[in-house]
């Protein structure tokens, strides 16, 4: 065990909290910081002397290079403290720095060494002063970030185009920009013993059920984990039905979607370093809704939703149905179509199910390769795969043309689903249906769908049935907000969904 191991054992408890307190003797603090940040080249530590009426006073400044705005440190803190001679009126030095001398608003006293360290690692600057057992924390964060860019995963023809980026603060700002309500709360905390990732629970106090907020907080604090690097990881920790393939949160990069969710009494959880904000509760219907549905006219929105529901059905069932119909029940097919399929298959070596699995695997392979490759190359692989490999596979007698059409149709249908996480589930379910159909024909096809339906009907996201409003527990309540496959005109969507705080269910009223 080297000397650092012994020190770390002495300084940190089992939850990785720093135990020592800030000492009034600055040298003690400096010694701790130097040992703690030994071999950490990006940590800047420097001692300064302030000239005051009491004499020369030592201060010690610590920050992480690259995470801070040096302009704020130099112009807002060091310059006023070092170059300006101040005749203090005898008031306490720390109070004087805090309230009079520094040129920044976001500065506070912090007695807890652990929180000071956390502040430093988040990009704040810590100032230790000789004779004080507290430190000053100045907010100087300036992370290397990409700017707010156009949304490329949840696009739409109408509506705002901005999207969240990896900055926690930008994300909260984009939400608050849309909801200027003082009752919009953002309860912040950190998660991850080592990553100390910032998160914020955002909700409107009088719309979100207090029980829901409490439950989300409990879930966030239920585990000790090394690090959280994306909202997806936290999402999986928070959900009850961890074994299910269906997402229990709605993850989105669209600030307007989050704002609209919050106005429906839902709770958003924003994580630092993650461009996806998660919303709870969530249901199946929400994952098939797009923001444009509300921005376009009601009939257009309804039609788009109908198309998406049909697409979802095709994405999951078409390959399985094709297998069942051609392998077991060819009588169901129109005669000419059957002849076309049989004729096309006359050159194919493999049984229908193997043929389908080969083509589906090929498609998944191309998709995976396309994601890993940079933009233009990704597009190229799609074209190469789709046209050349597909065409060659048909000519070589590995697959038939009809199977290429079926796989392409189900793939296109899955792309119509507006939530990427949900699309992945559909891809998995498609394989499940293929297997059940290949085993027992249409009977297996239906048993497969039944298993999925049974599973879906038992799921709940924070107490809300996942298949709401198709199963709402109460017929009238299901249609209260007119927001299912049929998207009611905005004028008639007068009620918030039933999970909203029951005292504030009205969202639209006519003025007197």
Partner 1 sequence: MYTQNNMISTRQCFRTGILENITLGMVVIPYVSVNLAGKWHFPAMLIGLLMGGVYMAFMYALSKSVTKDTLEDLKSLKGVGGAIGILYSIRFLIRIGIVLYFFGKTMQEYLLQSYNLWVIIIAFVLVCGYGAARDIEKRGRMLELLFPWMVVPIILVAVFAISNINLDELLEGLRGVNYENIRGEAGFLDVLKAGYVCFLVMSTSELLLFTMPYQKENSWRNALKLGLWILISIFLAYIFIIGILGGHWVASDSQAALNVMEAAFIPGGFIERADYPVLIFWVIGVFAIVSGYIFYARKGWEICRACIKGSAVTKGKLSLWIVMILACLAAWLWSLPDISVYLAQYMLWADVAISLIIPVILLNRSGSITSLKAVKKQLGAVVILVLITASLSGCVNKEFAPISKARESIEGREYVTNITFNGEEDITFTVADIKKYIKDATGTFETKEEKLTGESLTQVMDEYHNENGRQLDIGHLDGITFKDVADDRVREYALEMSNISHMGKSVVVTIKDSQGEKKIDLRQLIKCAYSGEEFP
Q: Which residues bind partner 1 (CB under 8 A)?
A: 209, 211-212, 215, 326-336, 338-346, 348, 351-352, 401, 439-447, 450-451, 453-454, 456-458, 460, 462-465, 467, 470-475, 498-499
Q: Among all chains, which residue has been given the structure tokens 């098939």?
A: 288
Whichever of 38 and 453 has its CB closer to partner 1, that residue is 453
Whichever of 16 and 241 has its CB closer to partner 1, that residue is 241
Whichever of 90 and 334 has its CB closer to partner 1, that residue is 334
Whichever of 170 and 462 has its CB closer to partner 1, that residue is 462
Query: Smallest gap, in angstroms, from Cβ of residue 424 to partner 1?
Result: 22
Whichever of 343 and 379 has its CB closer to partner 1, that residue is 343
Query: Smallest gap, in angstroms, from Cβ of residue 489 to partner 1?
Result: 25
| Helix, strand, coil percentages for the chain (3-state, nearest 5) | 50, 15, 35
Phi, psi angles (nearest 5°) of residue 48: -125, 165
Whichever of 218 and 368 has its CB closer to partner 1, that residue is 218
Cβ-contact 278, 233 below 8 angstroms: no
Exposure b/e, 97-127, CB count within 10 A at least 16 = b: beeebbeeeebeebeebbebbbbbebbbbbb
The Cα-based distances of 376 to 365, 366, 381, 421, 430 in angstroms read 17, 14, 9, 23, 29
Whichever of 59 and 433 has its CB closer to partner 1, that residue is 433
Query: Smallest gap, in angstroms, from Cβ of residue 197 to partner 1?
Result: 27
Query: Smallest gap, in angstroms, from Cβ of residue 334 to partner 1?
Result: 5
Residue 435 exposure: Cα atoms within 13 Å on the Cβ side:
6
Rounded distance between C-alpha atoms, residue 240 and residue 4, angstroms: 40
Cβ-contact 367, 426 below 8 angstroms: no
Query: Smallest gap, in angstroms, from Cβ of residue 297 to partner 1?
Result: 27
Residue 25 exposure: Cα atoms within 13 Å on the Cβ side:
4
Rounded distance between C-alpha atoms, residue 478 and residue 465, angstroms: 11
Cβ-contact 434, 323 below 8 angstroms: yes
DSSP state of 504: G
Query: Smallest gap, in angstroms, from Cβ of residue 245 to partner 1?
Result: 15
Beta bridge partners of 267: 280
Query: Smallest gap, in angstroms, from Cβ of residue 498 to partner 1?
Result: 7
Whichever of 126 and 314 has its CB closer to partner 1, that residue is 314
Query: Smallest gap, in angstroms, from Cβ of residue 336 to partner 1?
Result: 7
């Amino acid at each position: 065990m080297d000397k650092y191991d012994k020190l770390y054992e002495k300084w940190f408890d089992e939850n990785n909290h720093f135990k020592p307190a800030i000492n009034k003797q600055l040298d003690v603090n400096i010694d701790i910081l130097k040992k703690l940040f030994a071999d950490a080249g990006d940590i800047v530590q420097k001692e300064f002397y302030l000239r005051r009426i009491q004499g020369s006073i030592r201060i010690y400044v610590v920050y992480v290079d690259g995470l801070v705005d040096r302009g704020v440190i130099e112009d807002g803190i060091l310059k006023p403290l070092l170059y300006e001679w101040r005749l203090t009126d005898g008031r306490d030095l720390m109070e004087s720095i805090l309230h009079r001398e520094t040129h920044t608003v976001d500065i506070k006293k912090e007695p807890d060494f652990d929180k000071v360290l956390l502040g430093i690692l988040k990009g704040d600057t810590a100032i230790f002063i000789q004779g004080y057992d507290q430190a000053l924390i100045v907010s100087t964060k300036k992370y290397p970030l990409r700017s707010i860019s156009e949304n490329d995963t949840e696009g739409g023809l109408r509506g705002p185009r901005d999207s969240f980026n990896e900055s926690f603060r930008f994300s909260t700002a984009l939400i608050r920009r849309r909801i200027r309500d003082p009752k919009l709360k953002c309860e912040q905390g950190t998660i991850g013993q080592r990553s100390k990732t910032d998160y914020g629970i955002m909700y409107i106090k009088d719309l979100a059920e207090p029980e829901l907020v409490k439950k989300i907080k409990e879930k966030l604090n239920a585990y000790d984990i090394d690090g959280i690097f994306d909202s997806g990881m936290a999402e999986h920790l928070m959900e009850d039905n961890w074994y299910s393939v269906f997402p229990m949160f709605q993850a989105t990069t669209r600030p307007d979607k989050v704002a609209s969710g919050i106005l429906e009494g839902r709770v958003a959880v924003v994580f630092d370093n993650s461009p996806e904000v998660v919303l709870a509760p969530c249901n199946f219907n929400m994952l098939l809704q797009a923001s444009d549905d509300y921005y376009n006219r009601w009939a257009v929105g309804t039609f788009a939703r109908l198309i998406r529901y049909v697409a979802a059905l095709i994405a999951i069932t078409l390959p399985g149905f094709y297998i069942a119909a051609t392998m077991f029940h060819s009588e169901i097919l129109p005669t000419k179509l059957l002849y076309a399929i049989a004729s096309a298959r006359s050159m194919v070596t493999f049984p229908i199910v193997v043929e389908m699995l080969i083509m589906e695997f090929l498609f998944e392979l191309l998709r995976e390769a396309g994601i890993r490759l940079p933009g233009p190359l990704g597009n190229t692989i799609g074209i190469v795969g789709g046209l050349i490999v597909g065409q060659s596979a048909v000519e070589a007698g590995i697959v038939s043309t009809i199977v290429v059409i079926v796989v392409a149709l189900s793939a296109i249908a899955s792309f119509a689903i507006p939530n990427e996480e949900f699309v992945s589930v559909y891809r998995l379910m498609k394989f499940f249906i293929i297997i059940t159909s290949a085993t027992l024909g249409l009977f297996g096809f239906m048993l497969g769908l039944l298993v999925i339906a049974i599973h879906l009907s038992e799921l709940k996201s924070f107490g809300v049935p996942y298949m709401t409003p198709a199963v709402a527990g109460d017929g009238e309540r299901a249609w209260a907000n007119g927001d299912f496959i049929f998207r009611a005109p905005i004028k008639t969507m007068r009620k918030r969904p039933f999970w909203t705080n029951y005292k504030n269910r009205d969202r639209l009223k006519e003025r007197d």
